[in-house]
Amino acid sequence: MKKLILIGRVAAGKTTLTQALKGEQISYCKTQYIHYHDTIIDTPGEYTEVHALGAALALYAYEADIVGVVISADEPFCVFSPGIASLVNREVVGICTGIDKPTANVPQVTRWLKLLGCTKIFYISSYTGEGLDEIIAYLREPSDAPDARPV
């Protein structure tokens, strides 16, 4: 599997997505520090929201094959600057989480992710499982087993 780093605001759904991708039971767990899993790097939302910590995300991105910018479908605003995908020399994909929420505004999040420079966007519900197969297939290397999951 390709290694994926997840970046986004607090409560964007990064840890919940990590749990879903790993096939774990979903439970709330506030991420306090960078969590390294075999193929996923889960980051605290404060690294995105606090300017002084933002540079750390660029450094951690070099340890991943793909940068996943995570924005919840019910976000009232986007904290990322337009064109931010150009700041790393890694592939940057957009991940819209919480598409099953009643207040989801998927078209707005899609516009934001495209503005950031994401050409590939995944639409995910970690609770229903919608979209998980697509992102797992995208992360799979040719040498991986067909049913391999990120761990």
Kindly report the CATH number assigned to the domain that includes residue 46: 3.40.50.300
Is residue 150 one of the residues assigned to a domain?
no
Residue 70 has pLDDT above 80, yes or no: yes
pTM over 0.75: yes
Q: In the chain, how many domains are there? A: 1
Phi, psi (degrees; rounded to nearest 5) at 147 = -105, 15
Please give the structure tokens belonging to residue 90: 């890694």
Pairwise CA distance, residues 92 & 119, whole Å? 8
Distances (CA, A) of 13 to 9, 100, 142, 147: 9, 12, 28, 24
Is residue 149 one of the residues assigned to a domain?
no
Is residue 151 one of the residues assigned to a domain?
no
> Residue 59: its pLDDT value, please?
85
Is residue 51 one of the residues assigned to a domain?
yes
Is residue 40 one of the residues assigned to a domain?
yes
> Residue 65: its pLDDT value, please?
96
> Residue 48: its pLDDT value, please?
85
Percentage of the residues of the chain whose pLDDT score is greater than 90: 64
pLDDT in tens, 47-69: 888 888 888 888 888 899 999 99
CA-based angle 26:28:29, to the nearest 5? 115
Is residue 121 one of the residues assigned to a domain?
yes
> Residue 76: its pLDDT value, please?
94
Which residue range forms the structural domain that includes residue 126?
4-139
Is residue 148 one of the residues assigned to a domain?
no
> Residue 33: its pLDDT value, please?
65
